[in-house]
Amino acid sequence: MPTRSSAPSPDPSRGSPPLTPTADTTACDIFCAVIDNFGDIGVCWRLARQLAHEHGWQVRLFVDDLHAFQRLCPSLVIDAPRQHVDGIVVEHWHEPAHAGDTLQIADVVIEAFGCELPNVYVAAMARRERAPAWFNLEYLSGEDWVADFHLRQSPHPRYALTKTFFFPGLGPGTGGVLKERDLDAARAAFESSADARAAWWHDATGVAPPAPDATVVSLFAYENPAVDSLLEQWRHAASPVVLLVPEGRISGALGRFFELPAHASGVSFAAGTRAQRGNLTACSLAFTEQSRYDALLWASDVNFVRGEDSFVRAQWAARPFVWQIYPQADDAHLPKLDAALAHYAASLPDDARTALARFWHAWNGVGTPDWADFMRHRTTLERRAATWATELASLGDLAGNLALFAKTQLK
C-alpha cells in the first residue's frame, strides 16, 4: 500500500506531524537545487503541481533557494521553513544534510538534475520495508543518445536501492516534456476571446492590443550582444514591431538602446516602462510569474525564450519561436541547439529550415540575426509550429509518463 513512511528526525524538537496520505495516494518527494536562473525550480514546480493536481499524488518539494522560487510563485513565503502552496508541501532545503523537520520517506523520490539527496534520507530509503521508486530527472535534450539512456537503472554502491534515469526529450523513446491536460483548451479559449486578449494587454502593459499590422514579439533572454542589431532592425522594420520584455537580464540592453535613465531600482528599462524609436515600440513587463507566462506567449506572434522551461512552453504555444540555450564553456551547448533544430525543423522546406537555423545560431552567438530573412518564412514557420506541437504531444507528457512508469516500480 503506497504511503509515506516516517522515522524520528535527528532533531525531533523541530519536527512537525507526519503527513498521512490515504491508502490509494502515492507520496512523492522532489529535491531541487537552484543552480542558476529559474529553469531548475521552474521545471520542478510544474512537475510537482501536475503530479498533485492531475495524478492525485501527495507531493513535497525541497528547494534550496526560496528567493528564486518566489519570483515564479509570489504566494510563497520566503522565511517559512515549511508551507503549503497550491496543494504542495514546500520545504526550505537549507543544508545538504537537511531532509525535513521530520524524516519522512516517500513512495517516489525525484532528485532533479543530479542534485544529491541527503545521506540520512538515502539511508532511510534503504531501511524502508519496500524501497521507493527513485528517479534522477535529467535536463531536456533533443540529442539522439537520450533515448538510449532514458529509464536506465543504476544500483546504489552501498544500499539495496536502484535509481532510474528519467530523460525529458523531443523524440520517441524519451520521457517527453511537461504539459498540463487543460493547456490546449486554455490556449484556445484565450485565442478565441477578444475580451480575454484585451484584458491581458491592459493588465500586462496598461494599453490596448496593437493594430493588426503590428508584429508582437516577446523577449525573454539572457544578456545577448546580438540584441543590439535586432533592436536596430526592428526600429527600421517595414511594419510596426511591438516588443514585450519581462524585466530581467536583458533589460539593461533595452535601456541603453532607448537611452533611458536608470530607475530608482537601478534598472533603466524597469517594469512599466514604454519606449518607442522608429517602428519599434517596447514595453517592459513585471517579471511574469509562472502561471501567467503562457498568456504572454499566446499574445505574441514570435517568442524569444531561454533555458528549458520557457523553451517547452513556447513549443506548446504553437507560435514561431527563437531559443537561446543556456551557454556552456567551449560552445558545448551548440550541438544541443542543433539537435533541437533537427527535430523541430525536420519537415520544413530547405529555405525555411536554413533561415531558421541561421537565426537561431546568430541569437546564440554565431553570426548576426537577420530579421527580414526570418520573417520571409513567417507563414511556413507558423504552420510548422502548429504541427510540431501535435507531434510533440504524441510522446505523452513527462509527468504522466513518469507517473505511469513509477506505478510499475511500486507494484
Q: Please name which of 110, 111, 93 lies closest in space to residue 101, comparing C-alpha atoms.
A: 93
Find the farthest-apart pair of alpha carbons in the chain and give their distance in angstroms, rounded.
69
Active-site residue (options: 247, 308, 309, 397): 308
Write down the pTM of the prediction: 0.91
Distances (CA, A) of 58 to 26, 84, 209, 312: 6, 11, 41, 25
Active-site residue (options: 29, 40, 65, 111): 40
Whether 121 contacts 104, CB under 8 Å = no
Q: Can 116 be counted among the known catalytic residues?
A: no
Other CB atoms within 10 Å distance of the CB of residue 129: 5
- In the chain, residues under CATH classification 3.40.50.2000 are 183-393
Other CB atoms within 10 Å distance of the CB of residue 54: 15
pLDDT at 214: 98
Q: Is the dihedral of CA 264, 265, 266, 270 positive or negative?
A: negative
CATH superfamily of 183-393: Glycogen Phosphorylase B; (3.40.50.2000)
- List per-residue pLDDT tens for the chain, 411 residues long: 345 665 433 332 223 333 444 557 999 999 999 876 677 999 999 999 999 999 999 999 999 999 999 999 999 999 999 999 999 999 999 988 999 888 999 999 999 998 999 999 999 999 999 999 999 999 999 999 999 999 999 999 999 999 999 999 999 999 999 999 999 999 999 999 999 999 999 999 999 999 999 999 999 999 999 999 999 999 999 999 999 999 999 999 999 999 998 766 667 899 999 999 999 999 999 988 888 999 999 999 999 999 999 999 999 999 999 999 988 777 788 999 999 999 999 999 999 999 999 999 999 999 999 999 999 999 999 999 999 999 999 999 999 999 999 999 997
pLDDT at 8: 36
pLDDT at 264: 63
pLDDT at 3: 56
pLDDT at 333: 86
pLDDT at 5: 61
Q: Please name which of 325, 280, 331 lies closest in space to residue 306, comparing C-alpha atoms.
A: 325
Give the separation between CA 165 and CA 142, rounded to whole angstroms: 16
Angle at 151 between CA 148 and CA 156, to 5 degrees: 115
Q: Which residue has the cell 532514458?
A: 150
Q: Can 308 be counted among the known catalytic residues?
A: yes
Residues in Cβ contact with 14 at an 8 Å cutoff, skipping those fewer than 6 apart: 101
Determine the CATH number of domain 5-178+396-410.
3.40.50
pLDDT at 402: 98
pLDDT at 267: 73
